[in-house]
Structure 1
């Protein structure tokens, strides 16, 4: 009988603690949403640190106090498990932001049933971007689809931006992009296009150089990576 009573008391206490936590989260969400117009309730979650709440605005992740007065922009690291929790959350947010753009806004090389898909922020006039594009057949052979998003490093407006728009607006986008990356002229065209949005997304992700490869995990690898090495990374055969 005494054991039963203890179970009832513990269950009641756990219920109270759970409700208290839910109420605190609700209050924190409201305070943070009042501070930022573009934050929704589902973007705010409790963090492993008491009093701090994780806020995700893909692709950004940061932490705020429950009254939305203080913000912490940095990494939360679990020393016991040797995990950078913020990197994990940020990678998830990066993936969500990229998928939110929609594959229809990208120029894709490779079959739909490829084993891996890598999203590449590219600049038509970047030397290593051109080297990467010369290797597209090699990536496809290794089972890797390449999805291009535009990142004209010179900004908007610029010659690189105009070329990216022209490639997107061409009747055959893949052919136009290939010609442009070979240094060949393509007809200058204008139409409704995603180039500016993709450039802004890259900036919000912290991309400054090209090519920038975004893996399926959300991890970003800067620079050119040869096909076989990229395949080894994707297949977990190398840590780098």
Structure 2
């Protein structure tokens, strides 16, 4: 019985020692690194299996530091054997969503071809990269259903344009007219309700910090505009 108690105490002491060491490492990293981040806070610190580095998660970004927080590493970590981008895979895992939870009734729905493949895109009507995405990739892609969330983060004018488009007789056409041909619909009636603020709140919840942002049915996302071959490759990779 006594031996059992000693074993339990020893195990408990060891555990306390490990937790204490980890807390000391985390505190050291925070103390030395956070002042260099321009006001940003580190959301989590996790030991990695590569070269003693620690993963620092800041929103949807990942940086790396040594155990003492004396060195900060900004960049991508690759597996040299498989060429797999370990940083990208980790970000994909951290930012995954449940696609079926998206409130698709708040989005513009456009079906192209058979519409069997599905994506959701968050775009600001004043975003140049969003317009480029519309004028090239999304204009040319086929056999896809596109749900567009008008995510107004660039200016107050974005809210006005989104309201005019949402309240137009044909929302999808009005959106394409503006994004592709720079042609806006007439001003919306004052009493026309829009989901603008709900979409802003949703975007913040999903940690979308820029537009465009493309979400896929497997829960992953691509932040930023992509060309048609890259989008096709991603869609074909989803089982």
1:164 to 159, 162, 165: 162
Q: Is the contact made by 1:57 and 1:93 (CA closer than 8 Å) also made in structure 2?
A: no
* SS of residue in 2 equivalent to 1:78: coil
TM-score relative to the length of structure 1? 0.56
1:70 is aligned to 71
User: Could you give the per-residue CA deviations for residues 155-214 of structure 1, whole angstroms, max 9, x where no partner exists?
Assistant: 3244x553135446x498xx43532322341434686613498498343xxx6xx5x644
Question: Counterparts of 1:89-238 in structure 2 under 5 Å?
Answer: 89-95=90-96, 103-104=102-103, 107=107, 109=109, 116-124=117-125, 126=131, 128-129=133-134, 138-140=142-144, 145-150=145-150, 155-158=154-157, 160=158, 162-167=160-165, 170=167, 175-182=170-177, 183-188=183-188, 193=197, 194-195=199-200, 198=203, 201-203=208-210, 213-215=214-216, 216=218, 217-220=220-223, 222-223=225-226, 225=228, 230=231, 233-236=234-237
Deviation of residue 146 (structure 1)? 2.4
User: Could you give the per-residue CA deviations for residues 62-118 of structure 1, whole angstroms, max 9, x where no partner exists?
Assistant: 11233444321111122133222111112233435xx69x7238515279xx86542
Residues 50 and 225 of structure 1: is their aligned pair in 2 closer, same or farther, counting only changes over 3 Å?
closer
- Of residues 28-37 and 56-65 in structure 1, the stretch that sits farther from structure 2 once superposed is 28-37
Q: Is the contact made by 1:119 and 1:147 (CA closer than 8 Å) also made in structure 2?
A: yes
Consecutive unaligned residues in structure 2, runs of 5 or more: 1-9, 178-182
Q: Is the contact made by 1:180 and 1:186 (CA closer than 8 Å) also made in structure 2?
A: no
Q: Is the contact made by 1:129 and 1:224 (CA closer than 8 Å) also made in structure 2?
A: no
Q: Take 1:91 and 1:185, find their aligned partners in 2: how far apart are those partners? A: 37
Q: Is the contact made by 1:47 and 1:53 (CA closer than 8 Å) also made in structure 2?
A: yes
Q: Take 2:201 and 2:160, find their aligned partners in 1: how far apart are those partners? A: 11
Consecutive unaligned residues in structure 1, runs of 5 or more: 1-11
* 1:29 partnered with 2:36: no
* SS of residue in 1 equivalent to 2:50: coil
User: Could you give the per-residue CA deviations for residues 110-162 of structure 1, whole angstroms, max 9, x where no partner exists?
Assistant: 79xx86542324344626515666678x444xxxx423244679x3244x553
Residues 21 and 150 of structure 1: is their aligned pair in 2 closer, same or farther, counting only changes over 3 Å?
farther
Cα RMSD between the aligned structures? 4.6
Aligned residues: 199
